[in-house]
Structure 1
Amino acid sequence: MLTSIRGIVAASFATGLALSAAPAFAETSAPENEFDLAAVEAAADVTVDVADLEAATPVVDYASVNRAGDESSVEISGNVALASEYRFRGIDLSGGDIAIQGGIDLTHSSGFYVGTWGSSLDEDTVGYGHTELDVYAGFSGELTEGVSFDIGALAYLYPNAGAGDYDYIEAYGSVGFSIGPAESTLGIAYAPKQDSLGGTDNFYIYYDLSLGVPGTPFTATGHVGYTDGFLTFTNDGKAFDWSIGVETPLYGPVSFGVAYVGAEDDILPGNYDFADDALVFTLSASI
Structure 2
Amino acid sequence: MTVVLASTGINSAMAAESTPLPFPGTITGNVSVVSSYNLRGITIGPENDNTALQGGLDYSHDSGFYAGYWFSNLGYSYAGLNPGCKGTDCTTKSFENDFYAGFKGKLTEDLGFQLGGTVYYYYPGWESTGYETIVGLSYKQFTVTAQTLLNNVTFGNKGDTYFLATYAPELAGGFTGKLQAAAYYYGDDDEFTGPTTTDFAFRHATLGIAHPLGATGATWGLDYIFGGYSRNETKQKNKAVLSLGYSF
What TM-score do the two structures reach when normalised by structure 1? 0.65
Aligned counterpart, 2:176: 219
1:89 counterpart SS class: helix
Q: How does 1:157-236 map to 2 (within 5 A)?
A: 157-161=121-125, 165-178=127-140, 183-196=141-154, 200-214=158-172, 216-229=173-186, 235-236=197-198
After superposition, what is the alpha-carbon deviation per residue over 1:74-102, rounded to whole angstroms, capped at 9, x for unaligned? Answer: 21110111000112210143342111000
Does the alignment pair 1:89 with 2:40? yes
Q: Which residue of 2 aligns with 1:285?
A: 246
Residues 74, 119 of structure 1: alpha-carbon distance in 2 compared, 3 angstrom cutoff: same
Matched residue SS, 2:146? strand
Post-superposition offset of 1:166? 1.2
Q: Counterpart in 2 of 1:73? A: 24
Secondary structure of the residue aligned to 2:75 is coil
Residue segments in structure 1 that go unaligned for 5+ positions in a row: 12-70
For the Cα contact (< 8 Å) 1:4–1:89, is it kept in 2?
Answer: no
CA contact (8 A) 2:130 2:151 kept: no
Distance 2:235 2:71 in 1: 20
Q: Which residue of 1 aligns with 2:3?
A: 4
1:98–1:257 CA distance, 2 compared to 1 (3 A): same
> Would you say 1:106 and 2:59 are equivalent positions?
yes
* Alpha-carbon distance change, 133 to 274 in structure 1, aligned in 2, over 3 angstroms: farther
Q: Deviations over 1:178-203 (max 9, x none)?
A: 1xxxx110111111243556763211
Taking structure 2 as the reference length, what is the TM-score of the superposition? 0.75
- 2:209 corresponds to which residue? 246
Cα contact 1:72–1:110 (8 A) shared by 2: no
Deviation per residue, 1:188-245 (Å, 9 max, x gap): 111124355676321121100122223x222221111111115899732533211111
Q: Could you tell me the percent identity over the aligned residues?
A: 26
Q: Is the 8 A contact 1:91 1:274 kept in 2?
A: no
Q: Which runs of 5+ in 2 are unaligned?
A: 11-17, 82-92, 188-192
TM alignment of 1:79-158, pairs within 5 A:
79-92=30-43, 93-123=46-76, 129-158=93-122
**CA root-mean-square deviation:** 3.2
Q: Rg larger in 1 or in 2?
A: 1
1:154-193 Cα distance to aligned partner (Å, 9 max, x none): 011112128xx31110000111111xxxx11011111124
Q: How many residues align?
A: 216
Distance 1:197 1:285, change over 3 A: closer
Which whole-Å CA distance do the structure 1 matches of 2:37 and 2:64 have between them? 29
Higher normalized contact order (CA 8 Å, seq sep 6+, divided by chain length) = 2
Written as runs of structure 1 = structure 2, the 5 A alignment for 1:5-20 is: none
Distance 1:277 1:3, change over 3 A: farther
